[in-house]
Amino acid sequence: AQTVTQSQPEMSVQEAETVTLSCTYDTSENNYYLFWYKQPPSRQMILVIRQEAYKQQNATENRFSVNFQKAAKSFSLKISDSQLGDTAMYFCAFIDNYGQNFVFGPGTRLSVLP
């Protein structure tokens, strides 16, 4: 069975600084997708960034980028120029190529400090 681990339950960063959230996963599949979701206090799950396992290039979305290390099964999220609005829970998630087995990590609570 696939598992997703986020080893940092809580993190904080100063506004305008850079922070990296860690995620590791375990799977025997070769093709799959990885995601980072943001959950602000409003409770809404918001997709931050997505990575296809067959792509070697790391995904980037504005201030958000990932470091995808397939061999190490690692998928970290880097947030540059942190903003107060980035304060939220962040979940790493995995789904296999069949789209039927979506697994979430336990989350990292990120606080951006003014």
Name residues contacting another protein, limited to 21-60 (CB under 8 A). 33, 35, 43-45, 47, 50, 52
Residue of 82, 107, 112 whose CA lies nearest to 9: 107
Interface pattern 4-23 for another protein (x via CB under 8 A): x----x--------------
Q: How far is the CB of 109 from another protein (least distance, A)?
A: 10
C-alpha to C-alpha distance for 65 and 78, rounded to whole angstroms: 5
Which DSSP symbol is given to 84? G
Q: Does 64 bind another protein (CB under 8 A)?
A: no
**Given candidates 20, 87, 104, 111, which one binds another protein under the rule CB under 8 A?**
104
Please give the structure tokens belonging to residue 60: 């980037």
Of the candidate spans 14-22, 64-72, 76-84, 94-102, the one that interacts with another protein by CB under 8 A turns out to be 94-102
C-alpha to C-alpha distance for 62 and 89, rounded to whole angstroms: 19
**Given candidates 48, 107, 110, 112, which one binds another protein under the rule CB under 8 A?**
107
Residue of 103, 100, 99 whose CA lies nearest to 26: 103
C-alpha to C-alpha distance for 87 and 34, rounded to whole angstroms: 21
Residues found near another protein in the complex (CB under 8 A): 4, 9, 33, 35, 43-45, 47, 50, 52, 91, 93, 95, 99-107
